[in-house]
Amino acid sequence: MTMLTLRSPVFSFRLPLRRVVVNALLAALAALLIVAGLFGGSYPVSFADFMAVLNGTTDAVTEMVVLDYRLPRILTALGVGLAFGLAGEMIQTLLRNPLASPDIIGFTAGAGTGALFTVAILGTTAFVVPGAMFGGLGAALIVIGLSWRRGIAPGQIVLIGIGITLTLGVIGDLLMTRLDATSAYELMKWLVGSLHSRSYADVQIIWLGLLILAPVAFWHQFILARASLDEPVALGLGIALNRSRMVTLGLAVGLVAVAVSAAGPLPFVAFVSGPIAHGLNRASRPTLLSAALVGAIITLFADMVSQTALSGMSLPAGVFTALIGAPVLIWVLIIQSRKNRL
Amino acid sequence: MKRNTSSHLATLAIMTTLGLVLAFVSLWFGVRPLPTSTVWQALVAFDPSNTEHMIVHELRLPRAMAALIGGGALGMAGALMQSLSRNPLADPGLLGVNGGAALGVVISIWVLGATAQSQLVFPALAGAGLAATLVLLLGGAVRPRGPDPTRLILAGAAVGALFLALTWAILILSRESLDTYRFWVLGGFTGITKSDLVALLPLFAVSLPMGLAAAFLLAPLILGDDTARALGVRVGFVRVFSTVAIVALCGLTVSMAGPIAFIGLVVPHLVRPLLGADLRLVAIGSFLTGAALAVLADILGRLILPGQEIEAGATMALIGGPSLILLVRFRREVAL
Amino acid sequence: MTAHLTCENLCLSYGKTPVLTDVNLDLVPGQITAIVGPNGCGKSSLLRCLSRVQSPTKGQVLLDGEPIHKQNTKQVARKIAFMPQSATAPTGMRIMDLVLRGRTPHQSPLQQWTSEDQRIVERALDQVGLTHRAHELLEDLSGGQLQRAWIAMVLAQDTEILLLDEPTTFLDLAHQQDILKLVRELQADRGLTVAMVLHDINLASRFTDNIIALRDQNVLCSGVPQDVITEPNIQDIYGLACSVIADPHHGLPHIILK
């Protein structure tokens, strides 16, 4: 356990060397995926082409591929992955439960049901995103409101979240059977989550959200790490627990909301990023930066696979985030249990 | 809170009666309303030439029995699962069988063009079995000390998600799958025929006693692994056996009726205040209560919206979700 | 000047079950106070109220004359450190991480490892004898080591008042002695005020200045060990018959059960 000490008059930190290395490697991997996504693929673009695009001195096709197609898509994937990773790690740390994810606060189920409602009532898929936001935020508020008991009670959140998620899930399933086949199919694709044909509007949503929420999240990490101790210990250390929990939930809901509105639910990213980051760092949670980077890597990689390997089948990225995330979680699990000789 | 054996027996008897009465009541309802006397006649003096008797025998009776057995299996599996994982929130669905069954279903629709519910039973069973095997292997069932409960749940979640992702992939590749799947996923006892039931009954006849045996074996583990070992319990074997029993119970039910949420999660919590902490009693009580609840959901699904039927699985979740919340809100300290 | 912790008419009930009724007490500044009593008499609840971790149903706890629940919780955490019974830590934590958590009220998101933090954390680890194990995972420790790690965390908080709930559980005889001697040293050197729940009356007699005996949700008697540890009092507190003798080394009251 080599530790690095960083000290100056304004700041002082104690960082495990392992965490620095892990984060650097994760960042490098994310960067590699971004580069591969920009330059590789079915229409290879060289670095010179890319610079030419930025200078505005290239042919229309290359410019379209890079500026209209790849760049917004990759920027969205990166931002959404970071946001899901952060939100997942915050919720799992708050609830001290590796099985928790932002799904548990009802957001995803609410978003799905909201989206389905707009289609079922309005008969068009044009308002899916506003419907999803409304449903998601509404469900999260209901879960948090119902678990209020002179303050937020984390134990209650899990139970009430399960109740709300179950109910909303079934309402969604029922609505699904009441739709015509085409709308059902379109919605199915949205519900899985896709990065296909992202626009700069999506990029704006997710990056504006990240710009505001991510710094607060990293600032809040100090409190979050202490609020996740046993309640009497945390209170004894002078942590304002209730405020800390509200901030954590607010940040997580906000991050998931911008991510879902930019790319749909993208299953498993939020759920799996934290445990993987935890396994890599071999440190107590939260490790927000690592989790965010893992989320970004999974999303970027899923996006790449969804475009290249099975391009003829046009599967959305959401299928692959789960297909990638699940085996990785299994692998982390096996490594951990071997280490603990369970 | 110590109660004597006879009061426990009385409670179990009430649960049994409730289930049977509800099952009988469920025979009345349907597209074609039948008078009580006809239903009774069909049961005690069956006349194959009578259409109404045939409806009762071929459609309604299998359906009621499927609800009883399926609900009971889920209730019992839930009690075992919560005890095995020492996690009161554990639902047998966490072991990934639902995801496996769903994958089996969509593959059979996609590849074989199956659409009728009875064509989906065995593909679902195969998928559930595959998922369960994977979960057991990854959950550490092959190790000498048996599976670690936490690892089992994580493995279940991961395998479930993996199969769900594959299911989505197929749903997006083939619209026909989605058209059948979106009805199957609601879960219910509507399309069950006599022949489905007859085919599955032997399997239930094996796995329900297994579940009961698992309850007897698991009971000493409540005191902790070390205490159980000191009492001469082979912890590893007990865990593997119980997991297999849980998976069999859930896998059979999901193949028969599609995913039915909530019974496994909540029924044990309803039963424990009545029967105490003894897992053997709780498992039996959960079987009886789960059966009654599934039949009730099946009946209510036919009554909520006039002219339409809501599948029992959906009804269950629609009632279950809010009642879980009420339970959490209004009991001071829910010992979940 | 050292901080002063008192409580007035303190009542606490969980639902309808009363746990504490009308408790008044005054922790003598700069002295060690033991809280003793039978299981379930409200010792731990009293300590939780005093440390403001639990809000009382009625009455109040005063820190330096001000109601403790109205004070800034971080400021309070710089004056009072509280060690609850059988706390658990998140997985993956090392002793060092846990002890450093004790510095929380002195830290901020930007200042998480000042040289002051380092000095006090290293001192706390040394005081409980865990310096060489600082980088071990908490889940790998024995019960006694874990208990000492938690004590180190509380010490790292560097407060004037220490509230310890059964600091000697899980510890063998030697380590019980070590911890209580350490508490005594800290009190002597730095004038700390200490209140701790203890089960062993003889240890309480040997290492504390005052004893508060609880019974049936209230204070039965309090005072210096010689006044509290008497045969009739032990009979009242625990319903046990015993003889009290003067221990041969220190002349302090020592109970021998009949």
C69-92 pLDDT tens trace: 899 999 999 999 999 987 888 878
Q: Average pLDDT, stretch A166-188?
A: 86
Q: How do strand C242-246 and strand C66-67 relate by DSSP bridges?
A: unpaired
* Domain finish residue from C131, C154, C177: C154
Residue C85 lies in a domain: no
Which of A10, A229, A236 minimises the CB distance to C81? A236
Round the average pLDDT of chain B to a whole number and report it. Answer: 83
Asked whether the beta carbons of B139 and B133 are under 8 A apart, the reply is no
Residue B182 lies in a domain: yes
C47 plus C33 within the same structural domain: yes
Q: What is the pLDDT of residue A99?
A: 65
- B322 near A CB under 8 A: yes
CA distance C162 to C81: 5
Q: What is the pLDDT of residue B144?
A: 64
Residue A10 lies in a domain: no
Q: Average pLDDT, stretch B295-324?
A: 84
C106 plus C72 within the same structural domain: no
CATH of the domain at C40: 3.40.50.300
Residue C148 lies in a domain: yes
Asked whether the beta carbons of B171 and A178 are under 8 A apart, the reply is no
**Residue type for position B97:** V
Residues in C touching A237 (Cβ below 8 Å): 77, 101-102, 104-105, 157
Residue A107 lies in a domain: yes
Q: How many domains does chain B have?
A: 1
Binary contact (B182, A268; C-beta < 8 A):
no
Asked whether the beta carbons of A197 and A65 are under 8 A apart, the reply is no
Binary contact (C113, A6; C-beta < 8 A):
yes
Q: Which residue of A has its CA nearest to C88?
A: A230
CA separation (Å) from C98 to C31, C80, C161? 27, 18, 20
Residue A44 lies in a domain: yes
C145 plus C163 within the same structural domain: no
- Residue B2, pLDDT > 60, answer no
The residue length of chain A stands at 342
Q: Which of A37-51, A138-152, C26-40, C183-197 has the lowest mean pLDDT?
A: A37-51
Which of A99, A189, A337 minimises the CB distance to B140? A337
**Residue type for position B258:** G
C164 plus C65 within the same structural domain: yes
Distance of CA C83 to the CA centre of its chain: 6
Residue A1 lies in a domain: no
Binary contact (A158, B89; C-beta < 8 A):
yes
Q: Average pLDDT, stretch A27-33?
A: 96
> Which domain covers residue C22, as residue numbers?
5-79+159-257
Q: What is the pLDDT of residue A342?
A: 37
Residues in A touching B321 (Cβ below 8 Å): 163-168, 170
A136: tokens are 């998601």
Residue B336 lies in a domain: no
Residue B197 lies in a domain: yes
C24 plus C107 within the same structural domain: no
Q: Average pLDDT, stretch B174-196?
A: 84
Q: How many domains does chain A have?
A: 1
Binary contact (A238, C114; C-beta < 8 A):
no
- Residue B87, pLDDT > 80, answer no
A36 SS3 class: helix
CA distance B92 to B229: 25
- Residue B1, pLDDT > 50, answer no
Cα dihedral: C200, C202, C204, C209 (round 10): 170
Residue A163 lies in a domain: yes
Binary contact (B182, A184; C-beta < 8 A):
yes
B322 SS3 class: helix
Q: What is the pLDDT of residue B336?
A: 37
CATH of the domain at B275: 1.10.3470.10
C74 plus C194 within the same structural domain: yes
**Residue type for position B102:** A
Q: Which of A43-57, A118-132, C5-19 has the lowest mean pLDDT?
A: A43-57
Residue A7 lies in a domain: no
* Domain finish residue from C154, C176, C197: C154
Interface of B with A in 121-180 (CB under 8 A): 138, 140, 145, 148, 151, 153-155, 157-159, 161-162, 164-166, 168-169, 171-173, 175, 178-179
Residue B111 lies in a domain: yes
Q: What is the pLDDT of residue B145?
A: 65
- Residue B49, pLDDT > 90, answer no
The one-character DSSP state at B59 is I
Q: What is the pLDDT of residue B331?
A: 61
Q: What is the pLDDT of residue A335?
A: 66
Asked whether the beta carbons of B219 and B278 are under 8 A apart, the reply is yes
Residue B69 lies in a domain: yes
**Nearest CA of chain A to the CA of C146: how many Å?**
15
C174 plus C247 within the same structural domain: yes
Residues in A touching B157 (Cβ below 8 Å): 99, 271, 329
More confident residue, B63 or A340: B63
C166 plus C143 within the same structural domain: no
Percent over 90 (pLDDT), chain B:
18
> Which domain covers residue A189, as residue numbers?
22-339
| HEC-encoded secondary structure of C128-163 | CCCHHHCCCEHHHCCHHHHHHHHHHHHHHCCCCEEE
Residue A13 lies in a domain: no
B62: tokens are 């299998």
> Which domain covers residue B77, as residue numbers?
5-330
**Nearest CA of chain A to the CA of C36: how many Å?**
21
C163 plus C44 within the same structural domain: yes
Percent over 70 (pLDDT), chain A:
94
C128 plus C45 within the same structural domain: no
Residues with pLDDT less than 50, chain C:
none
C171 plus C243 within the same structural domain: yes
Residue B238 CB: number of other CB atoms within 10 A? 22
CATH of the domain at A110: 1.10.3470.10
Q: How many domains does chain C have?
A: 2
Residues in B touching A333 (Cβ below 8 Å): 138, 151, 154-155, 158
* Domain finish residue from C154, C178, C197: C154
Predicted confidence (pLDDT) per residue in B257-306, tens digit: 888 888 888 888 888 888 887 889 999 999 999 999 999 999 888 887 77
Which of B154, B172, B321 minimises the CB distance to A188? B172
The one-character DSSP state at A38 is H
Q: What is the pLDDT of residue A339?
A: 57
Q: What is the pLDDT of residue B335?
A: 41
Q: What is the pLDDT of residue A310?
A: 56
C52 plus C175 within the same structural domain: yes
Q: How confident is the model at residue A26 (pLDDT cuts 50, 70, 90)?
A: very high
Which of A168, A188, A322 minimises the CB distance to B164? A322
CA distance B134 to C69: 53
Residue A30 lies in a domain: yes
- Residue B59, pLDDT > 90, answer no
Asked whether the beta carbons of A86 and A109 are under 8 A apart, the reply is no
Q: How confident is the model at residue B91 (pLDDT cuts 50, 70, 90)?
A: confident
Quick one: which of A86, A32, A78 has its CA closest to A214? A86
